[in-house]
Amino acid sequence: MEIVVVGGGSWGTAFARLLRDHGHAVTLACRDPAQVEAIRETGHNPRYLTAIELRGVDAATVEEAPLGTANLVVVAVPSASFGEVVAALPGTAPILSLTKGLDPTTGDRLSSLVRDRPAAVLSGPNIAEEVARGLPAAAVIACDSLPLAVQLQLAINSTAFRVYVNDDLVGVELCAAAKNVIALAAGGADGLGLGDNAKAALVTRGLAEMGRLAEVAGARPETFAGLAGMGDLIVTCWSPSGRNRRCGELVAQGMTPDEAARSIGMAVEGLTTAPTLRDLAHRLDVEMPITEGVCAVLDGVALSELVGQLMRRDPTVE
């Protein structure tokens, strides 16, 4: 297949490498001409995953990339810019979204922003650095069209990257968004040194509130026990490379959210998603106390105060 990957960050770079290794003709489309030139000259992304060799992956600006003739366009950009990016893409090729979040303006799922062409979503426990190094990983592709999902599965699946199909597009996208918010809280637990018991309890209850949201939103609760839910939640909350976990840890250690994001140097999706997810929960009348607490901390409430509030909640059944 001729595939264009839009977004020259860590995940876009890793996925372009993955597709190249599968034998596809891949173009990595970046906004910055200097980044494009460096990839062409050196075979390495000068900003992200700099040690990963990209020979055989073409690089182009978004304006120059062969989007009109591509068989597939993979979009790996921050959620805040996803809608604007996909609206400007020429051609009619299906879009595969790697972005995990919600549209911060409308609160909509990102696939709903794709107009006049098919859209699918890939999600799961996929730390970019590990995928780029060829370490074993698995993911799920969700799409309203089963034939397209299977086509993409066959195009991406390999012995290093196992791909499953799921027709619960709503559930997979909500998982991808919500797990980043829970990871901020898990990082906060790390930063405060609360221990593994507290962190495991937090993540488990986070999964429970994700499931409540899924049921009311029309998703299937079992999706939240799969790769896009529990799988991605585990790796995001425990991996040292997890941006959201690291951001929560830095906030617990005294940084502001903006300072923590600048220190990390890459998009921290949970910061954008948390208030959007909270507002969605309010509209659907779903109780999400951890998400509410994360938003309160982002608004300036002390993290230690949040911990006390969560522990003082009335006892209930699991």
Return the active site residues. 179
* Burial of residue 94 (number of CB atoms within 10 Å: 0-12, 13-18, 19+): buried
Sheet holding 95-97, edge to edge: 58-61, 25-30, 2-6, 72-75, 95-97, 119-123, 137-143, 161-166
CB 119 within 8 A of CB 95: yes
Alpha-carbon torsion 112, 86, 12, 236, what sign? negative
* Local structure of 268: helix, strand or coil: coil
Give bridge partners of residue 318 from the DSSP assignment. none
What lies within 8 Å, CB to CB, of 307 at 6+ separation is: 192, 194
Q: How many helices (H) and strands (E) does the chain have?
A: 13, 8
In 3D, which of 128, 72, 73 has the Cα closest to residue 100?
128
Q: Which two tokens stand for residue 268?
A: 């921290």
Instruction: Count CB atoms within 10 A of the CB of residue 25.
Output: 16
